[in-house]
Structure 1
Amino acid sequence: MVETIVEDIVIVGAGIAGLATALGLHRLGVPSLVLESAEKLRVYGFGLTTWTNAWKALDVLGVGDILRRRHLCLTSCGNVEVRCVLRELMVEALANELPSGTIRYSSKLIAIEDSGFSKILHLQDGTTIKTKVLIGCDGINSVVAKWLGFKETCFTGRYCVRACAKLGSDDNDGVEPNFMHFFGKGFRSGFLPCDHKTIYWFFTWTPSSQDMEMAKSPTKMKQFVLSKLEKAPSEIRSIIEKTEAEDIFTAPLRYRPQWELMRGNISKGNVCVAGDAFHPMAPDIAQGGCCSLEDAVALAKCVAEIFNNKKKNIDYDNNEEEKEKELYKRIESGLEKYANQRRWRIVDISLTSLLMGYFVEGDLDFVSHLRDKFFGSLLAHVMLNKSDFDCGRY
């Protein structure tokens, strides 16, 4: 027998955006159901450069101090709060604050169907869910984004190696809380300590066809990065050498074109998207995860306003269909408010990130000259400027 579930709010995806949105709603007294396709919480992943704007969002959600205690503040960034947070710890911190039963595992969304003023969600296991609000936080290949009319994301032409080095007990001095940055002709690399024994590092470059085949092998990628960073200090090369193959992941960098972000349906009716489902972007100014947390805070506030005011503002003399219609209109308006709040912020961040990536890795001589002379101060200015954003309070 097919199971049918009825929910007010369904969030697809138990990543950072989905869990943060659910937690924001919970803090505001509104329950939700989070659908996760995996059998358990996906805690794999690496480091997230978490800037001031993200910490403001994490504080609103009530998990900022939990994460601060386990991660170093990078002193090379001056008075700005910047930490490299392990993704698994952020996901766990968000999930642990949710009520039991909020996350439904092994629940892969395969289709969305209109049903009056609700949406019917069809899951791979045959379950159907009827919901008044559908929020897509289902990543770069989002089913919800596709339903809204977004096209497949675009390839930037670049790949990124992400890795996490776990230093052993023989590394007695640990690491200094500094962001170490290296770049050369056609590539860029960075090393950020998460804590005294864990360093996240990345390497971005424009690959040849041979490189793309090599990207399938973590061991080969490790040697490739070492060859590119042959002039780097010995302690940097040592970090790469100590990185285990299972802690190295390589993938193409993808993004959503600015014209889609400007003109696309971030929301439509009672459906919207947040996080990577909304704005996958290159990591060149380290704002993708930060913007996902901003999305979550803004979206939870807009949705909670609808449901917390539902009883007092809807005319209960109306029949059931009229009540549903009035609630639908309020949901539609609330999601449009969220979309309008986030659209131009995301266009700005996404475009800046894309342009910075091309500038940093340009292999023309005059571009390399400008980069070598001005890049450090320019990147610092851009990162500080884009992190100067307050998502608001509850």
Structure 2
Amino acid sequence: MMMEGVEGDVVIVGAGIAGLSTALGLHRLGIRSLVLESAESLRTTGYYLGMWPNAWKAIDALGGIGQILRAKHTQLIGIVTTSVVSGDITAEVPIKSADSEGDSGLYAVNRKTLLETLGNVLPRETIKYSSKVVQIQDSDGFKSLHLADGTILRAKVLIGCDGVNSVVAKYLGLSKASSAGRSSVRSFVEFKNGHGFEPKLMLFFGKGVRFGVIPCDDHSIYWFYSFHPPQDKKIEDRMKLKQHILSTIGKVPDKIRSVIEETDATNIEYSPIRFRHPWNLLWGNISKGNVCSALEDSIILARVLAAALRGERRENEQQRIRKGLENYAKERRWRSIDLVWSAYISGSVQMWDGVVLNFIRDHILAKFLGGLFLKKASFDCGKLN
């Protein structure tokens, strides 16, 4: 049934981690939002992700769910980097435990658990599934959202959290995501009798590949692998992909090799890596009027919008919203550029090949790259209010 003219204060496109955390931040501040998700349910596919101190500070600001997530996951105590060219460990960086300032170190967090925990705290009517946005138009100070089923929604504020193919980013005029020239493989394996690894993030790189092994608990291992495939074409045969990985991981301990060997090929996920160039974020509009493309920090965005929607009436509401989003864009732009650029450069360096480049990476840059991860993770988004 077609619905026309349905209005809401805040509409968020995409029920991923960014979308749900932004909705929860607004909910904690008394602002209702509607999250549109094109799928029929939460997209809980995928495996684990590393949650660093900056992420935990944001989670803790949302109230309550940080303790739930910590109780279900293992804290990692260090980062170990190894060259697949020489087989030698190039750096070991310890990670401190939680302290009085709320620095919660690094955890391997199940993506499904994180999404479901966020979704369960939100009011039931917050997420509207099977809601694909096909067009966005201006409408008397509102944004008019046309959905695939004929529904038309009007929003005071529109937030895009809908990934690299974002319809909101397209409306903002951002260029399409570009290929990084690399592809990613992710997978997960269970060892019934335990895997025996210490709780450390183990990174291996060189000879054009980069991969990592992360213990999630005493029995579970998440691993990822990035490489330069021929012409960046998708490899359909997962068994051949697994064999390719085993043939290219170089000098690694047999225990690490067994992680990939024991992985069921049907659990392997493959995808080309895409990103937006930093200069797109520098010169492009990440906010326009009452539209914003959320890039990282849901806490800052929720704080800005709550202040605008509940502010004094000396300015009209649309002016407050526009100014609030402009301030958000200024604050987040350089942080986003820094993260994108650092990730791109770090990934490229770790996949260098050649005698001279390998020596520079393994003996000069290794400790710097390990410390870089921790430095970027020290950002504090602050409290909701």
Normalising by structure 2, we get a TM-score of: 0.90
Residues 360 and 375, structure 1, Cα contact 8 Å, conserved in 2: no
* Residues 1:196 and 2:196 aligned together: no
Of 348, 354, 374, the residue aligned with 1:384 is 374
In the other structure, the counterpart of 1:184 is: 206
In the other structure, the counterpart of 1:240 is: 260
In the other structure, the counterpart of 2:76 is: 74
2:227 alignment partner AA: W
The gaps in structure 2 that reach 5 residues or longer are: 79-93, 98-104
Higher strand share: 2
Residues 195 and 220, structure 2, Cα contact 8 Å, conserved in 1: no
Residues 72 and 177, structure 1, Cα contact 8 Å, conserved in 2: yes
Residues 36 and 127, structure 2, Cα contact 8 Å, conserved in 1: yes
Alpha-carbon separation, structure 2, partners of 1:173 and 1:266: 44
In the other structure, the counterpart of 2:351 is: 361
In the other structure, the counterpart of 1:121 is: 145
C-alpha displacement of 1:205: 1.3
In the other structure, the counterpart of 2:55 is: 54
Residues 175 and 197, structure 1, Cα contact 8 Å, conserved in 2: no
In the other structure, the counterpart of 1:132 is: 156
Q: Over residues 90-125 of structure 1, what are the superposed CA-to-partner deviations in whole Å (9 max), with x where a residue is unaligned?
A: 111111110111000000000001101101100001
SS of equivalent residue, structure 1 residue 10: strand
Of 217, 224, 236, the residue aligned with 1:216 is 236
SS of equivalent residue, structure 2 residue 124: coil
- What is the CA RMSD across the aligned residues, in angstroms? 1.6
1:240 alignment partner AA: I
Higher helix share: 1
1:3 alignment partner AA: M
In the other structure, the counterpart of 1:352 is: 342
Could you say if the C-alpha distance between residues 65 and 174 of structure 1 is closer, same or farther in structure 2, counting changes exceeding 3 Å?
farther
C-alpha displacement of 1:180: 1.4
C-alpha displacement of 1:247: 2.0
In the other structure, the counterpart of 1:41 is: 42
Alpha-carbon separation, structure 2, partners of 1:207 and 1:166: 27
Residues 134 and 147, structure 2, Cα contact 8 Å, conserved in 1: yes
Residues 70 and 195, structure 1, Cα contact 8 Å, conserved in 2: no
Alpha-carbon separation, structure 2, partners of 1:359 and 1:376: 10
SS of equivalent residue, structure 1 residue 221: helix
C-alpha displacement of 1:208: 2.0
The gaps in structure 1 that reach 5 residues or longer are: 276-291, 316-324
SS of equivalent residue, structure 2 residue 200: coil
SS of equivalent residue, structure 1 residue 60: helix
In the other structure, the counterpart of 1:393 is: 383
Residues 206 and 352, structure 2, Cα contact 8 Å, conserved in 1: no
Per mean C-alpha deviation after superposition, the further-off stretch among 226-235 and 125-134 is 226-235
Of 310, 318, 337, the residue aligned with 2:327 is 337
Aligned length: 360
C-alpha displacement of 1:176: 2.3
User: Post-superposition, which runs of at least 4 consecutive aligned residues in structure 1 deviate over 6 A?
Assistant: none
In the other structure, the counterpart of 1:20 is: 21
In the other structure, the counterpart of 2:89 is: none
